[in-house]
């Protein structure tokens, strides 16, 4: 057994491609201590961008455009190869031999997620589909791969998301300070961790769009030349279109009680076209400013409605790609003056790497037979071991 394992530490790679669908985040993590109380040290992190044709294919299929079973099957195996390459490269950069890996945790690439039940052939059904074939990753790397984290929670009556809150609890809980861990990816979600919390005290949910609408507008107005608003500078030149913002805020998702989860099905291209691109005569910078304002406004509203009135919160820890949007983070600070707003880097969790780190930790729990969901967060009937293991 490798030396790292014999000392009780293990090396795990976490892989994820989020709702922005721009590439694969790969984090090489050293986990020490028992899986129930892990200590985490990041050894390497890289983002491996999808090529333009691959990204277009993923976006097209995830948007619900017509696709054959063959296309989805081929995409699944293609992304398996790309996720394996991401693992090989992050280990090579960190000079860690593949033989030292205890496991790989891969969230894969979500191309469909229906967390709320719909009626199918007379039955209420929820479903989710992540692609990036784990058997390919296991064969190329020689390490056991934990994948398909969401379905076990959904089989137990949950929405299959968000899953990071358990990791937030393990890594960010504090005996004296109440904490909200906010991740702003394509979708924004947070985890509420009261001071001195037990696992059953923790809750969280998706608040709505994070960067998804902003990125969609940037791609549209730049004719595909740009994929995001760097630093929020483009939006900063505009003004909020208040009637448009008020119209969007009336959408049912924002009023719905948690647990709740969202994705491209709710806030993808159709949403962008319906609310923003049909706004005749509006300037690009004003639409971007309105989309950017929507994210902190819905986060703040969710905190006000479901958290701050009943739980003492001291700090808001921000991670994800949206943490680089200075306008967005500044608005959070202005809207939440009572909270200390800080980036997760201050807690040893780089903002871009945090979700990939989380899936390394969740894979470690699965390999130890431990549950990876929080029923109060996802709505599941019970805590369950997540994922399916592919062995090389």
Q: 5: number of CA atoms within 13 Å, CB side?
A: 9
pLDDT (0 to 100) of residue 5: 39
Average per-residue pLDDT in the chain?
A: 95
Q: Domain locations in the chain?
A: 3-161+353-390, 165-347
Q: H/E element holding 13?
A: strand 10-17
Q: Is 171 within 8 Å of 272 (Cβ atoms)?
A: no
Q: Is 58 within 8 Å of 117 (Cβ atoms)?
A: no
Q: State percent of the chain over pLDDT 90.
A: 93
pLDDT (0 to 100) of residue 4: 41
Q: What is the largest CA-CA distance in the chain?
A: 66
Rounded to an integer, the average pLDDT of 274-302 is 96
Rounded to an integer, the average pLDDT of 271-297 is 96
Split at pLDDT 50, 70, 90, the class of 135 is very high
Rounded to an integer, the average pLDDT of 210-220 is 96
Q: Is 129 within 8 Å of 123 (Cβ atoms)?
A: no
Cα–Cα dist 126/158, whole Å: 9
Rounded to an integer, the average pLDDT of 137-161 is 97
Kindly state the DSSP code that residue 49 receives in the 8-state scheme: E
Measured CA distances, 94 to 98, 149, 195 (Å): 11, 26, 36
Q: Which CATH number describes the domain made up of 3-161+353-390?
A: 3.30.420.40
Q: Is 319 within 8 Å of 184 (Cβ atoms)?
A: yes
Instruction: Tally DSSP H helices, then E strands, for the chain.
Output: 16, 12
Is residue 378 over pLDDT 60?
A: yes
3-161+353-390 and 165-347: identical CATH topology: yes
Cα–Cα dist 87/173, whole Å: 29
Split at pLDDT 50, 70, 90, the class of 63 is confident
Q: Calculate helix-pair angle for 284-306, 212-221, nearest 10 degrees.
A: 180
Cα–Cα dist 122/350, whole Å: 46
Cα–Cα dist 121/288, whole Å: 41
SS3 43: strand
Q: What is the pLDDT of residues 330-347, one digit of tens each?
A: 999 999 999 999 999 999
The gap from C-alpha 97 to its chain's centroid, in whole angstroms, comes to 28
Domain at 165-347, CATH from 3.40.50.300, 3.30.420.40, 3.40.50.620, 3.30.2130.10: 3.30.420.40
Q: Is 23 within 8 Å of 50 (Cβ atoms)?
A: yes
Burial class from Cβ neighbours inside 10 Å (0-12, 13-18, 19+) for residue 249 reads: middle
Residue 356 sits at φ, ψ, to 5 deg, of -65, -40
DSSP 105-151: EEEEEEEEEEEEEEEETTEEEEEEEEES-HHHHHHHH-S-EEE--HH
């Amino acid at each position: 057994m490798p030396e790292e394992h014999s000392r009780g530490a293990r090396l795990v790679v976490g892989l994820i491609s989020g709702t922005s669908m721009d590439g694969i985040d790969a984090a090489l993590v050293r986990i020490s201590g028992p899986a129930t109380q892990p200590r985490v040290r990041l050894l390497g992190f890289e983002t491996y961008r999808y090529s333009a044709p691959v990204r277009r294919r993923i976006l097209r299929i995830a948007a619900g455009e017509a696709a054959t079973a063959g296309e989805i099957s081929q995409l699944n195996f293609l992304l398996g190869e790309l996720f394996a390459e991401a693992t090989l490269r992050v280990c090579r950069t960190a000079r860690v031999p593949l033989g030292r890996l205890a496991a790989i945790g891969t969230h894969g690439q979500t191309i469909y997620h229906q967390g709320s039940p719909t009626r199918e052939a007379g039955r209420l059904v929820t479903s989710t589909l992540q692609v990036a074939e784990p058997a390919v990753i296991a064969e190329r790397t020689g390490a056991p791969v934990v994948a398909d984290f969401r379905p076990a929670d959904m089989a137990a009556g949950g929405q299959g998301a968000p899953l990071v809150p358990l990791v937030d609890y393990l890594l960010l809980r504090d005996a004296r300070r109440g904490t909200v861990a906010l991740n702003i990816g394509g979708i924004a979600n947070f985890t509420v961790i009261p001071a001195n919390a037990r696992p059953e005290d923790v809750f969280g949910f998706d608040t709505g769009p994070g960067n998804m609408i902003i990125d969609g507008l940037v791609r549209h107005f730049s004719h595909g030349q740009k994929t995001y608003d760097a630093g929020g500078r483009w939006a900063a030149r505009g003004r909020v279109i208040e009637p448009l913002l008020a119209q969007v805020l009336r959408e049912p998702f924002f009023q719905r009680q948690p647990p709740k989860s969202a994705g491209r099905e709710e806030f993808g291209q159709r949403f962008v076209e319906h609310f923003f691109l049909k706004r005749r005569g509006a300037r690009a910078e004003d639409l971007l400013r309105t989309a950017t304002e929507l994210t902190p406004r819905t986060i703040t509203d969710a905190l006000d409605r479901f958290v701050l009135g009943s739980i003492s919160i001291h700090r808001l820890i921000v991670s994800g790609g949206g943490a680089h949007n200075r306008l967005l983070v500044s608005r959070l600070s202005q809207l939440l003056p009572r909270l200390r707003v800080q980036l997760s880097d201050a807690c040893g969790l780089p903002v871009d790497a945090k979700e990939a780190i989380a899936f390394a930790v969740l894979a470690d729990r699965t390999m130890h037979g431990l549950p990876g969901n929080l029923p109060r967060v996802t709505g599941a009937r019970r805590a369950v071991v997540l994922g399916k293991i592919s062995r090389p």
